[in-house]
Structure 1
Amino acid sequence: MNQIIPANEPGRLEALRNYAILDTLPEIGFDEIAELAAQICGCPAALVSFVDASRQWIKAKYGLLPAELSECPREISICTVTICNNDILYVPDLMKDQRFNTSPLVTGDLHIGFYCGVPLITRDGHALGTLCVIDFGPRELTFEQREALRRLSRQTMVHLELRRQLLVRNEMLLELERARDRAVAEKAESDKLLLNILPPSIAAELKTNDRVQPRYFDSATVIMIDFTGFTRLVETMEPASVIDQLDQHFTKFDDIMANHRLEKLKTIGDAYLAVGGVPEPNRSHAIDASLGALQVLDHLARLNRQREKLRLPAWQVRIGINTGPVIAGVVGKHKFTYDIWGNTVNIAQRVEAAGVPGRISIAESTWQYIKTRFEIDVRGAVEVKHQGLVNMYYLNRIKPEFASDSAGIIPNDRFWKQE
């Protein structure tokens, strides 16, 4: 049997792919259509099948057909002729029709003797497959039976179209679900990034009100940390190594600040700024800043002992601490920054700049809060740019009676009970 191909074959195959029917599992709706077709026509077998580029694939079958029969090559398929006709194909005796009398389906084991098939045609005129009835010997159908088969083929297409629309709907719902999941993931990532930039309460206020109301804090403690000799270090190291080590230090500072309820505000080059008592007010911010500063020096001391063994230059910092009122708020629209302003910040920077490497300088305002718990060296009044004379002190350690370690870095239980 010579294979023939529909004139609109590329479009037909594309339409068939759009219905996503090939190689799917059995469906009761198509099985019932095949059974109904056989009963209407009084035939022992019926098929609902689809024709792709190389085969006739059987979606549903009814009657006396081999259980393993699921497809046949397109070149011997009788249904291939049906889809080319775009109309009912009625062959009462296949052995008397020169188009089919040499087909293996007729002369082989199946020994099909009768065929009547109706193409399954889309609204765009593409014949996707057929609804057909067969017998194993010659048979006649009445006009009414043939018309009933034709109407049943249209119902098959209605069923197929509803199935396609359901698939499209399910895909749309799936895409909506994926979009929702992406939106949730993006929001979570956005929230995570926001929390990396802003304190949680400030981030929550920004998300709720789309802005943050500036707030005045009558008492907060500002801590300024600045690496000394940084330019000399940069000149002896690869740029990537400088950034990597600076990042490691600042990451460690972040952990120390978080452990002492201090809020890291920003880094400016090799300088690091944090504050206690903001944005959540508390009464221990001066103590928290002092403990955090001691841990920063302890971290660097341990690191420098290792660097000394390797004959590497030490990382040294000056630390300045000051207590007083500040104003805090968020600046920026596309890149948010939580920051503080006021003379307290300026004095903290001046106290740090007036200090010496490896020591913690504190202003008198901070000393008043911590003097009963910490050992202090008095520096006296120091001239500070734009501020005049400022009484300063060096913070050495926790007093021995309030420390749980010999270095005076870690407070004991008595430390927190001290008034």
Structure 2
Amino acid sequence: MRRLLDVFLIFLRLGLTSFGGPVAHLGYFRTEFVERRRWLDEAAYADLVALCQFLPGPASSQVGMALGISRAGLWGALAAWAGFTLPSAALLVAFAYGVGLVGDVSDAGWLRGLKIVAVAIVAQAVLGMSRTLTPDRPRVLIALGAAMAALLVPSAAAQVGIIVVAGLIGWRFLTMADAPRASALPVTLSRRLGTAFLGAFVALLMILPVLREVVGGPALALVDSFYRAGSLVFGGGHVVLPLLEAEVVPTGWVTPDAFLAGYGATQAVPGPLFTFSAYLGAVSAVGLPALLAAGLALGAIFLPSFLLVAGTLPFWNALRAQPGAQSVLRGVNAGVVGLLLAALYSPVFTAGVRSTGEFAFVLGTFAALEYLKWPVWLVVALSAGVGALVWAGGP
């Protein structure tokens, strides 16, 4: 129980302070669990990120669930998810009740400060992971090629393709007989249980649309729509927005103006962007109480991620320990570094830095994190405060 409470409280703090989107979240996680707490080493963390890049759903939330499982079993996954997700979900539900009263916060000074510090956090993550995952010329070239491809073809499908190609290159060219053995991720779940979770994921994807048509009812309709959105999106983050819009706007559940207002508010809260689902449930005209609809939408969109992570982890250690799989993962991890490098430029840098003064701010926050070793929460809080003071009147 103590370990479970620790998982919840650690992820709750991350859920309250992790601004900047999924790429920045991976940087926060690396700082917290690899560097500070040493729950796992750099290679195991990179392999975990690579696995979650392959799975549909929000990669950063899936990494959090996997870390929770490794620390405290299935309840640890739920504790990690709750701590990381509920702060932003609660804020967005509150916004749904008072939609329009807050106004446009997209250019607020404190939010600009948070966007800037996200650049430094991602830069630190890319630098730290590159030291371990791209230590030689072949892997540096894979990373640079992946970054170039991701910038030239910015889409979720391209990202999956880049990871596959990087893995194939690793399998063909990065075989190393003297490579160190991959460190195991502590997972106590059985393979039989993992198989059951994977079966449940597929079964729900097929059965929910049938139940929606046969049984009917607003609750089933809501769960089916958001479960499908969480199951079919690769890349996470902003990629899910077209799927959500297609589910809630044409049906008349949410007006286009309310959808856009909620999307704007989502940019101003920490945690995963998938919590936008809680807002959509709260404002949806489906005939359910707002809080119930918000809870159903939020649970349904994250349920596929939970089932997939819990289903694949029991097989993961055995798979990644195979020599061929290790070669593939060397290429994949180099490709992930490249994807993070591309994301550092777009959208993290391009959204956060618009002037030389803001770039100077990035350098200062990076120095505080990397060289002065200030805690992340302190740098984030100071950045929000400085942003509120410097850009109080907007641009």
Query: What TM-score does the superposition give when structure 1 sets the normalisation length?
Result: 0.23
When you count helix as a share of all residues, which structure comes out higher? 2
- Structure number, greater radius of gyration: 1
